[in-house]
Amino acid sequence: MNPPGSSTMKAVVLERFGPPRQVLQLEDVPLPEPAPGQVRVRVRATAINDWDWTFARGRPMAYRPFLGWSRPRVSILGAELAGDVDALGDGTGGLALGDAVYGDVSECGFGGFAEYACVPAAALTPIPSGMSYLEAASIPHAATLAMQGLLDEGGMQAGERVLINGAGGGVGVFAIQLARDCGVAEVTGVDSRRKLGQLRELGYDHAVAYETTDFTRTGERYDLILDTKTNRPPRAYRRALTPAGRYVTVGGSTARLLQVAAAGRWLARFGRRRMSVVALRTNHELGRIDALYQRRGLTFRLDGPHALESVPERVEYFGGALHGGKVVIDVAAGAARR
């Protein structure tokens, strides 16, 4: 880490698209200054998610209008961060120097893969008492997807049978806890064979290995399916739903997501089954997760912590679906404590 008072900071910089190990580089860059409405956060911890993997490679090509055509539109990735308010721009409202905050900053320029980041104050939420920076950094993107998928889009109800596909990743860790808090009758988790033990530890009633079992062909029917890995045609998911079942996806193949969106419009006209794609609202109602943490605690599954200089390797590791839980980066020593 650069010494206090320095005009530069360490950051993992992306200057071209390609394999993460080759195109992400740890460099010294100028220390940013907050604009009006922004605060500067001393980043204690960050996490890796799909956006980092997608941005580094510049794929799929359908995303290039957002990613950048010939070169990346964003030079410092990192969609989630947790840290301390270090400097205030004009008009930042209720935040004060030293406040411990966290948030998803993917809609306001990214920047988590650095020692400091300037972000809008409105994108940040106070870290609940007792929660570490690493734990906080693992929450905003994954937990918000889980909440919006299960509750807002899925309308999850007590007594239902729920299936989570991709249950061993960041979304699945929070999805099972939200399902239990809601009082569902039974939760099935689907992921790789090597993650089945982890799924059982998290509290899934049934753990299914996708290598050996296609959950859409077992004859089981679910009231709600939350999918993080959409890679089948809509008709496959439809046959795994009860007559009034709902299928909600938060990620997967671009072509399949478009098919699900189209199928959802058709099903809404001709039947009681529903299919939909979550359009993420970043940081929306994070207070619900904070309240759950304060009321009954949360179980975290952290892959790490890893050092800032390891981000290129960790992004590639994430892309290979080798992680269990959320891949977290300890940007400043002591991120595991508060």
In whole angstroms, what is the distance from residue 271 CA to residue 84 CA? 50
Q: What mean pLDDT do residues 147-161 have?
A: 96
Task: Encode pLDDT of 109-148 as tens digits.
Answer: 999 999 999 999 999 999 999 999 999 999 999 999 999 9
pLDDT digit string, tens, across residues 173-192: 999 999 999 999 999 999 99
Q: List, for residues 29-57, the tens digit of each pLDDT value.
A: 999 999 999 999 999 999 999 899 999 99
Q: Which residues are CB-contacts of 335 (< 8 A; sequence separation ≥ 6)?
A: 44, 45, 82, 132, 133, 134, 137, 305
User: Residue 159: pLDDT above 90?
Assistant: yes
Q: Which pLDDT band, with edges at 50, 70 and 90, does 321 fall under?
A: confident
Q: Is the confidence at residue 216, as pLDDT, over 90? A: yes
pLDDT digits (tens, 9 = 90+) for 252-281: 888 898 999 998 888 877 778 999 999 989
Residue 165 structure tokens: 């596909």
Whether domain 8-138+300-330 has CATH 3.40.630.40: the reply is no
How far apart CA 327 and CA 126 sit, in angstroms, is 21
**pLDDT value for 5:** 67
The CATH code of domain 142-277 reads 3.40.50.720
Distances (CA, A) of 257 to 206, 210, 250, 334: 26, 19, 9, 40
Mean pLDDT score of the chain: 92
Per the CB < 8 A criterion, the answer to whether 202 and 299 are in contact is yes
Neighbours of 193 (CB within 10 A): 13
Q: What is the pLDDT of residue 336?
A: 67
Structure tokens at 199: 């799924």
Tokens of 150: 């299960």
Tell me the C-alpha to C-alpha distance, in Å, between residue 128 and each of 84, 142, 287, 317, 338: 13, 17, 10, 30, 10
Of residues 338 and 118, the one with the higher pLDDT is: 118
Same fold, 8-138+300-330 and 142-277: no
Return the pLDDT at 4.
60
Contacts of 117 (CB under 8 A, 6+ apart): 32, 40, 41, 43, 76, 78, 81, 83, 105, 111
pLDDT of residue 297: 86
More confident residue, 289 or 221: 221
pLDDT for the residue numbered 3: 53
Q: Answer for the pair 222, 240: CB distance below 8 angstroms, yes or no.
A: yes
Domain ranges of the chain: 8-138+300-330, 142-277
Residues 226/150, Cβ–Cβ less than 8 Å: yes
Radius of gyration, CA atoms only, the chain: 20
